[in-house]
Amino acid sequence: MPEGDTIFRAARTLDRALAGKVVTRFETVLPRLERVPLQGRTIERVVAHGKHLIIEFDGGVHLRTHMRMNGSWHIYRTGERWRKPRSDMRLVIETADYVAVGFNVPVAEFGDAPPLGPDLLAEDFDADEALRRVRAQAGEEIGNVLLDQRVMAGIGNIWKSESLFRSGVDPFVRVGDLDDVTLARIIANARKLLRASANGRADPMVYSRGGQPCRKCGTRIQSRPQGPDVRLTWWCPNCQRVRP
């Protein structure tokens, strides 16, 4: 599933190509999107909110998409050949210069994003509010809390594991067993990693490396399912010594 950094990069690319342009053609295979005419509207901006990508048009119309596991946005010059088959197309927004194509987008609807926690990639990210929301989940494992978009928006499975590795915290320790200094460190590291990845400067240390030696200490990386969605978590038992 694309994480906040991936959506941030996609929104930035779409915004550079589309902002200020008039929609010359709108096509979709999703009946729920046909009720609002977009042709002739001006695209005001494209923004990311956590894992949601929102295209804002004049007249207060907002188109929200969520990629889930397989969705993606592509941007092409007008007339350029698509890199995916037309059967994967879900919606097309065309201007005089560019064509934005949403492929295999599972969630696309008019309206703003649902209520989310502080966006880790936002310039006005509220670290104190994020800490308060994390602290309120005292009985939950910290690895699960980091994935809860109502607590903080933007983290997925990759940066969950990486944030906890950098912070030296076992993913299965409960929030109530961590002090505020440790929680603040986790939040700060999550923000740093997401921002670095959004700018192409972050490499995973433990994610998807189960059974391989830790790049920091050489200990074998471990992994196991976690949370109600049974998603794999990776960690180094030597480097992450804050344990349940």
Contact present, 235 and 222 (Cβ < 8 Å): yes
In the block, residue with structure tokens 């670095």: 196
For position 43, what pLDDT does the model report?
A: 98
The Cα 104–Cα 25 span in angstroms is: 19
- Whether 10 shows a pLDDT value over 90: the answer reads yes
Active site residues: 2-3, 51, 231
- Quickly state the pLDDT bin for 89 (edges 50, 70, 90): very high
For position 114, what pLDDT does the model report?
A: 84
- Whether 22 shows a pLDDT value over 80: the answer reads yes
Count Cα neighbours of 181 within 13 Å in the Cβ-side half-sphere.
Answer: 2
For position 3, what pLDDT does the model report?
A: 86
DSSP calls for 81-133: PPSS-GGGEEEEEE-SSEEEEEES-SEEEESPPPP---BTTSTT--HHHHHHH
- Whether 1 shows a pLDDT value over 80: the answer reads no
Query: Whole-model pTM?
Result: 0.83
Residues 78, 50, 90, CA angle at the centre, nearest 5°?
35
Mean pLDDT, residues 27-56 taken together: 95
Range list for CATH 1.10.8.50 in the chain: 127-235
Q: Are strands 61-66 and 52-57 parallel, antiparallel or unpaired?
A: antiparallel
Count of residues making up the chain: 244
The Cα 120–Cα 77 span in angstroms is: 32
For position 88, what pLDDT does the model report?
A: 98
- Quickly state the pLDDT bin for 2 (edges 50, 70, 90): confident
The class (CATH top level) of 4-110 is alpha beta
The Cα 52–Cα 182 span in angstroms is: 28
User: pLDDT tens digits for 184-232?
Assistant: 999 999 999 999 999 888 789 999 999 999 999 999 999 999 999 899 9
Mean pLDDT, residues 15-30 taken together: 97
Kindly state the percentage of the chain with pLDDT values over 70: 100
**Topology classification of domain 127-235:** Helicase, Ruva Protein; domain 3 (1.10.8)
Mean pLDDT, residues 87-114 taken together: 95
Q: What is the residue-averaged pLDDT of the chain?
A: 95
For position 243, what pLDDT does the model report?
A: 79
Closest among 71, 69, 70, 78 to 100, alpha carbons compared: 78
Mean pLDDT, residues 107-120 taken together: 92
